[in-house]
Amino acid sequence: MLKLSKKTDYALMAVQYMSSKGTDRVVNTKEIAEEYNIPGELLAKVLQKLGKKGLIVSQNGPKGGYLLAKSPTDISVLAVIQAIEGHVGITECYHNEDSNCMQMPRCNIRTPLRNIQNSIYGLLDSMSIADMKEFGSATIVPQSRLYGHRT
Amino acid sequence: MLKLSKKTDYALMAVQYMSSKGTDRVVNTKEIAEEYNIPGELLAKVLQKLGKKGLIVSQNGPKGGYLLAKSPTDISVLAVIQAIEGHVGITECYHNEDSNCMQMPRCNIRTPLRNIQNSIYGLLDSMSIADMKEFGSATIVPQSRLYGHRT
DNA sequence: ACAGTCGCCGACTAAATTAATCGGACTTAG
DNA sequence: CTAAGTCCGATTAATTTAGTCGGCGACTGT
């Protein structure tokens, strides 16, 4: 349905939150969960995934928690999404070799959809967490002229 | 998961198919279903939805079927997607008034995600069925420079 | 050294969405 | 008048997503 999952939302919120707290401050799961009314156990898993992907760094024990692994300008929205959702494909039948899609043989939409997908990838990759923060308060619309041949 | 539903895929395939058959030729559900190995009953509903939205025109009785309602250059990919999926929202908590999202009060990602969504909308709206056909055989990549400040 | 806080992990259940099927009505060319 | 088609709502099946549970391991402070 072309929608991000809740987990991904949570991931973006968390990363954004950490970003807002500075790069040095250790933040724990409970703190974020309470800030945004997110089920703690679920958020925990989300953060663990982000950790595994190297986007954030964990610190064990009491007073432990998480830190951003890099500068917010170096973490793309795409990276966060992919960390949680794995392969982000606009369609099943394209990149997935074992998708045994019945339409494969004659499919007439794969190539154009892949192009659309690539454009979306490009967009998501070009936006960093730092950018999100910026756009969050202001109302800048990063609308782009892409093809622009339709009205 | 940022993926189109099968129904939407079917819709795009069908419209594309009709487009390829010319604007005057009446095409029936079975024909398309067999061409692409799509469950007929399901495709039927998809086509009915496209009909209701005025993208295609139906013709009853034997030798009936469907026709594109307009030129393939005037049918955007977005229109087809929206005909099937209704409101295409990258996130729950934004446009939907009754989504009672628990994160609403402090959500720090709504605005930036809306901007991303708008960009995707723009992309999908700028691409027509006729464009898809073009990109289908060739391998043109309509990748765009959008922000371009990340490597 | 041990107790409490916190991350780590996998299995599980519940809920929601999507895919597909079924049954029957309406329309119309031949 | 009948067969080939669309039309439509209800239902079931399958898949995905959301959230829960229980136990383990790491670390800090006393």
Write a three-state SS string for chain A: CCCCCHHHHHHHHHHHHHHHCCCCCCECHHHHHHHHCCCHHHHHHHHHHHHHCCCEEEECCCCCEEEECCCHHHCEHHHHHHHHHCCCCCCCCCCCCCCCCCCHHHCCCHHHHHHHHHHHHHHHHHCEHHHHHHHHHCCCCCCCCCCCCCC
Read off the tokens for A103: 């339409």
Residue B97: what pLDDT? 60
Average pLDDT of the residues in A115-124: 92
**Residues of chain B positioned with their CB less than 8 A from the CB of A9:** 91-93, 103, 109
Residue A93 contacts residue A103 (beta carbons within 8 Å) = yes
Separation in Å: D24 C1' and A60 CA: 13
Q: Which of A2, A32, A36, A88 to mutate to probe the B interface, most B CBs <10 Å?
A: A2
Residue B36: what pLDDT? 96
Separation in Å: D22 C1' and B87 CA: 40
* Phi, psi (deg, nearest 5) at residue A102: -65, -15
**Residues of chain A positioned with their CB less than 8 A from the CB of B132:** 108-109, 112
Question: What CA–CA distance (Å, rounded) separates B2 from A3?
Answer: 5
Residues 6 or more apart whose CB falls under 8 angstroms from that of A35 comprise A17, B106
Nearest to B16 among A17, A105, A108 (CB): A108
Q: Nearest nucleotide, C1' to the C-alpha of A44? A: C7
Residue B98 contacts residue A78 (beta carbons within 8 Å) = no
Q: What's the whole-number average pLDDT of chain B?
A: 87
Give CA B108 to chain center in angstroms.
29
Residue A105: what pLDDT? 86
Question: What CA–CA distance (Å, rounded) separates B60 from B68?
Answer: 15
Distance from CA of B56 to the nearest CA of A (A): 18
Residue B98: what pLDDT? 66
Q: For a pLDDT cut of 90, what percent of chain B falls above it?
A: 71
pTM summary value: 0.89
**Residues of chain B positioned with their CB less than 8 A from the CB of A102:** 36-38
Helix or strand holding residue B66 (H, E):
strand B65-68
Question: What CA–CA distance (Å, rounded) separates A112 from B132?
Answer: 5
- Beta-bridged to residue A67, according to DSSP, are A57
**pLDDT (tens digit per residue) in B5-52:** 999 999 999 999 999 999 899 999 999 999 999 999 999 999 999 999
Alpha-carbon torsion B30, B36, B42, B48, what sign?
Answer: negative
Distance from CA of B112 to the nearest CA of A (A): 5
Question: What CA–CA distance (Å, rounded) separates A45 from A40?
Answer: 9
- The 3-state DSSP class for residue B58 equals strand
**pLDDT (tens digit per residue) in B41-67:** 999 999 999 999 999 999 999 999 999
